[in-house]
A = this chain, B = another copy of it.
Amino acid sequence: MNFPSKLIENAVEELAKLPGVGRKTALRLALHMLKHESEDTFSLAEALVKMRTEIKHCKHCHNISDTEVCSICSNPLRDRSMLCVVSDIRDVIAIENTAQYKGLYHVLGGVISPIEGIGPSDLYIDALLERLPGSEVKEILLAISPTMEGDTTAFYLTRKLRDFDLRITTIARGVPVGGELEYTDEVTLGRSIVERTAYGKV
């Protein structure tokens, strides 16, 4: 693609580095910025730079935070006997949006994936094990996506956690709410039968 201006070409190339943004989309975004107030572009650029420079990771749970200790870890109303282990910050946001969980979190920063060269030492697993002695944690809820890598990570964690006197739980797997039985894959449907719960339990 030939651009009439070096300035727009640079902007398009930088935008196209973002995930899911190709050169056509990048051009559309750049032209959108040119059509609108320059203040809009400045405040976007400022918000991005500010986020990238000032954001911290909570020293306890490794969630992103504006402060040394995140708003969840420092909240006195949170149940400190419960620790939910997730792979990613996005999972914290997803679980928080359900409003069904009142405990603390621990973000691993990924899952074990030999193909991508990510081993246990690349994740905050040691940090999790160091966090437990002397803490009030009684239950660890593993909320890791049920993929091959996620299950491997969960299995590794249960082996590491068995020396502690803890209840280890995992999120329920089954037919999604609103899902249709006939379109549910066999493994999920099979597990939903094996792990059936008493009717009207929730």
> Across chains A and B, which 4 residue pairs bring their CB atoms closest together, nearest first?
A45-B45, A11-B51, A41-B52, A14-B47
Whose C-beta in chain B lies nearest to the C-beta of A10? B47
Q: In this complex, which of A10, A47, A51 has the most chain B Cβ atoms within 10 angstroms of its Cβ?
A: A51
Contact residue among B17, B20, B32, B64 (Cβ-Cβ distance under 8 Å from A19):
B32
* Size of interface on A: residues with Cβ below 8 Å to B: 57
Docked-complex contact A66 and B11, CB < 8 angstroms: no
Is B64 touching A44 in the complex (CB atoms < 8 A)? Answer: no
Is there an interface contact between B45 and A8, defined as CB atoms closer than 8 Å?
no
- Residues on B with beta carbons closer than 8 Å to the beta carbon of A44: 14-15, 17-18, 45, 48
**23 pairs of residues in contact across A and B, judged by CB atoms under 8 Å:** A1-B93, A2-B97, A4-B72, A4-B93, A5-B65, A5-B70, A7-B47, A7-B51, A10-B47, A13-B47, A17-B40, A17-B44, A18-B32, A19-B32, A20-B25, A33-B48, A33-B52, A34-B52, A41-B48, A41-B51, A44-B45, A45-B45, A45-B48
Copy tally for this chain in the complex stands at: 2
Decide if B5 touches A48 in the complex (CB within 8 Å). no
**Docked pose: A39 CA to B53 CA in angstroms:** 10
Most chain-B CB neighbours within 10 Å: which of A30, A45, A66, A96? A45
B20 touching A28 by the CB < 8 A rule?
yes
0/1 string, A46-65, CB within 8 A of B gives 1? 11111111110000000111
Q: How far is the CA of A41 from the CA of B45 in the complex (A)?
A: 9
On whether the beta carbons of A93 and B51 are closer than 8 Å, the reply is no
Interchain CA distance A43-B15 in the complex, whole Å: 10
User: By the criterion CB–CB under 8 Å, are B2 and A55 in contact?
Assistant: no
Q: Scan residues 60-107 of chain A and give those whose CB is less than 8 A from a CB of chain B.
A: 63-66, 70-72, 88-90, 92-93, 96-97
Q: How far is the CA of A43 from the CA of B14 in the complex (A)?
A: 7
